[in-house]
Structure 1
Amino acid sequence: MKQHKDILVKLSFEKADEALRSAKLNIDNNLLTAAQNRIYYALFYSVLALGYSNGFVTGKHGQLLGWFNKVFIHEKKVFSSELFALYKEAFENRTKSDYQFTWKPKKDELLVDLEQASNFVQQIKDYIYAQS
């Protein structure tokens, strides 16, 4: 079973890394809505990896967000509340970007978001691999 979890974690991180690369390409080509989406999904996939490594499996965005906040921010205090705020904001921005046609992401903000997302993913990786 551990081998199965390890594979899911690895594949989730591959998707997170690809989402980060895709976000950068989208920003460079002024495809800002797509970049916003990819930034969020990089975070989502990394928290999904965290879920797999801890036996928590869900495909529901809100449920994963709540689990991360409850377990890793409040109970275990592994990550800072700023990290959760970043994840929550990315979720909200992705939702606005995908569904509110009058809301448009800004390139300068996306560049900052991308850097923060890269750091977020790395922190999750570091934590999981330190537990192995």
Structure 2
Amino acid sequence: MFEIKIVTPHGIYDEIQVSSVTLPTTDGQRTVLPNHMPLVMPLEIGNMYLKKDNERVDYAISEGMFTFENNCGTLIITSIERGDEIDFERAEKAKQRAEERLHGQHYEDHVDFKRAELAMKRSLSRLRLKK
């Protein structure tokens, strides 16, 4: 077991003991186990899975950073939602709006395209946790 501290712009979201964490990094999903070597990983929008007492807890997370040293992990992210906290109807509507923005317009403004693309990634991340 090791400790993970989850920090968002609103403060500490949680501090928990886990047996593993799987994170969406910029080069694919990565799992960290106890006694892992020190590391720093950039994170992408996606799904995070924690194992605690042989139970898996799923989360949708935003981009951020994960550090690990001396059996302590720190997750610094913009937002996080546990699977059972997600409003899937709202996520589906957000996905539809993002699809309309991505396919319905010609983008002269790269910023608007990027915002729509990120909204799509966030909604898909949430919808993947629907059971």
> TM over 0.5: same fold?
no
The higher radius of gyration belongs to: 2
Compare the two structures and name the one with the higher strand fraction: 2
Higher relative contact order (CA 8 A, sep 6+): 1
Q: Please, what TM-score do these two structures have when normalized by structure 1?
A: 0.30
Compare the two structures and name the one with the higher helix fraction: 1
Q: Please, what TM-score do these two structures have when normalized by structure 2?
A: 0.30
